[in-house]
Every structure is written in structure tokens, then in C-alpha cells.
Amino acid sequence: MALAADRRLLRGSDLHDVGLSPQLLIKLHQAGKLQRVFRGVYSLPDAPVTEHQSLAEVCRRVPKGVVCLLSALRFHEIGTQAPHEVWLALPESSRTPAVSFPALRIVRLRGEAYSESIETVMEEGASIRVYSTAKTITDCFKFRHKIGLDVALEALKDAWQRRLVKMDDLSRFARINRVERVMQPYLEALVA
């Protein structure tokens, strides 16, 4: 129970790592001491719901997934977007996860566009993989037709004014995402 209080989200592998049987989770659930969050993941019944809980749940269930776009903007507290879905980047060749809750919005990336600048943050007893601020902003320009150019511009302006990004990082990720020409006039306007 102390492990459940510490990590908030428990899987069988967590118990196995500390020398306990994963079957203990099922027994504690049947006894009413743990609640089933989703298949194979349990938490304390009175555990408070936190802001990033859905991100932690998704990262537990989709090991290759990386929080991106609107969800990453919300995670980094940039702009005013409040997505009702978890935006998740997956490698181009991976299968679509069978996750019904929380709702997912999947984008496919390949090569460096997927693998570069992934930050791993420990929250909710689970690791949340999310793209860095600069990478997230250039991703917004890459997917501007899905999320809107206004969202990308708002994120760029907000992050620049709060000094959360550097021009070198923005240029590097713009090159990786192949949106240098698209972003160039906006970057020039920032420094003018």
C-alpha cells in the first residue's frame, strides 16, 4: 500500500521489481483497497486526480508514445489551449494503440522528427515523455493544418516573451521538421 501511495499508478511489473507477486494487485482490488484505473493499472481509491494524470496513464499504456502538440503546450504551460484529447506522437511504423480512455489524437513522425528532444519527467509515479518547448513549437508549425496557424503563432510568441526558447533551438528543430521557410518570417519578426 505504501508503494501505491508513492507511485499513484501501479502495474504488476512495479510489484515484481520489489520482489512481490503481481497477483497481489488483483487481490487488493478485489478487497476494495485498490481501484482499477484501466487494464493492468491500479491506484488507491482515494488518490486525488491531478492535472497530468491522463498523460501519465497514456505514457504507461503506450511505451513508444511521446506527448506532443496541444498536450505538450499545456504540459509546458504555453498559450491558452486546453485540449480534450491527449496528443501523442508515435513512430511512423508503429501500430495504433487500443486505448479507449483517455481519448487519443495520434500523429506519426519519423527519424529525428520523432526521436529528438524527448524529455522524461517523473510525475504521478510514472514517467511522462514529452517533447521540449522548442520542439513542441516547431511541431505546431509542422502540423499547423491540424491545429491551426493561430495556435502555433500564439505558442511561439508566448514562449519567446517568457524566454523559454532560444533562436538556435527553434532553428534546429525547424530544420528537422522541414518548416524553416514557413517559420522564417515569424522568427524574423520576433527578433526585429
Domain CATH code at residue 126: 3.30.460
Domain membership of residue 48 (yes or no) is: no
Instruction: Judge if 28 and 100 occupy the same domain.
Output: no
Position 102 scores a pLDDT of 77
Structural domain includes residue 152: yes
Q: Given pLDDT bands bounded at 50, 70 and 90, which one contains residue 49?
A: low
Q: Which range of residues forms the domain containing residue 34?
A: 2-43
Number of domains in the chain: 2
Q: Is residue 162 part of a domain?
A: yes
In-domain check, residue 146: yes
Q: Are residues 20 and 76 in the same domain?
A: no
Complete DSSP assignment for the chain: -HHHHHHSSB-HHHHHHTT--THHHHHHHHTTSSEEEETTEEE-TTPPP-TTHHHHHHHHH-TT-EE-HHHHHHHTT-SS---SSEEEEEETTSPPP---SS-EEEEEE-THHHHTTEEEEEETTEEEEEE-HHHHHHHHHHTHHHH-HHHHHHHHHHHHHTT---HHHHHHHHHHTT-HHHHHHHHHHHH-
Least confident of 18-27, 138-147, 164-173, 181-190: 18-27
| Residue 75 and residue 36 share a domain | no
pLDDT surpasses 90 at 23: no
pLDDT at residue 163 tops 90: yes
Same domain, 61 and 30: no
Q: What is the mean pLDDT of residues 115-142?
A: 90
- Shared-domain flag, residues 116 and 170: yes
Query: Would you say residue 103 lies in a domain?
Result: yes
Question: At 125, is the pLDDT very low, low, confident or very high (cuts 50, 70, 90)?
Answer: low
User: What confidence score (pLDDT) does residue 51 get?
Assistant: 66
More confident residue, 41 or 69: 69
Q: Taking residues 113-120, what's their average pLDDT?
A: 93
The pTM score is 0.76
For the chain, the average pLDDT equals 87
Is 170 or 20 the better-scoring residue by pLDDT?
170
pLDDT at 43: 75
Rounded to an integer, the average pLDDT of 129-156 is 96
* 134 domain residue, yes or no: yes
Residue 168 located in a structural domain: yes
Query: What pLDDT is stored for residue 2 in this prediction?
Result: 79
Residues 34, 109, single domain; the answer is no
Pair 29, 64 in one domain: no
Do residue 25 and residue 79 come from a single domain? no
Q: Say which residue, 22 or 184, is predicted with more confidence.
A: 184
